[in-house]
Amino acid sequence: MSEPVQQPVSQITGQLGVLTREFRVRILNCSSSGCLVETNARLDVGTIGSLRLDIAGAEFVGEVLVVRCQNIEGAGSVYHVGAKFLWIGPPGHRTLRGAMREGAIVRAEMA
């Protein structure tokens, strides 16, 4: 059995890593450029994440950049988070940007 190869810390520094956390959110407002959500967790401005919404059985996904996070005074741990959609790829059928552009989410919520 061979010994595991150990790298000095100096060779590991600078490597890219991803930290994930899941939050429940309530959509307050959404457009083709971004959205305002309500959550019980504070998010730092500049945080990049993936927003996944299940609406009427259909999943919509969009990569977002947090542009503001405001604690709602008197509501305990309730935050309004403003997020801007990132243009990583074209707005397709199951992307939040595409759905907003086509009005699919509004139709799904009304169904």
Q: What is the pLDDT of residues 20-78, one digit of tens each?
A: 778 788 889 888 788 899 999 999 999 998 888 877 788 888 889 999 999 998 888 89
From residue 29, give the alpha-carbon distance in Å to each of 25, 70, 74, 81, 111: 12, 15, 21, 11, 18
- The residue that leads in pLDDT, 11 or 55, is 55
Among residues 44, 55, 53, 46, which one has the least CA distance to residue 24?
53
Q: What is the mean pLDDT of residues 11-17?
A: 65
- The residue that leads in pLDDT, 4 or 32, is 32
CATH 2.40.10.220, domain 28-110, yes or no: yes
Quote the DSSP letter at residue 2. Answer: P
Among residues 101, 91, 93, 89, which one has the least CA distance to residue 30?
101
Element (H, E) at 55: strand 48-55
**pLDDT, position 101:** 67
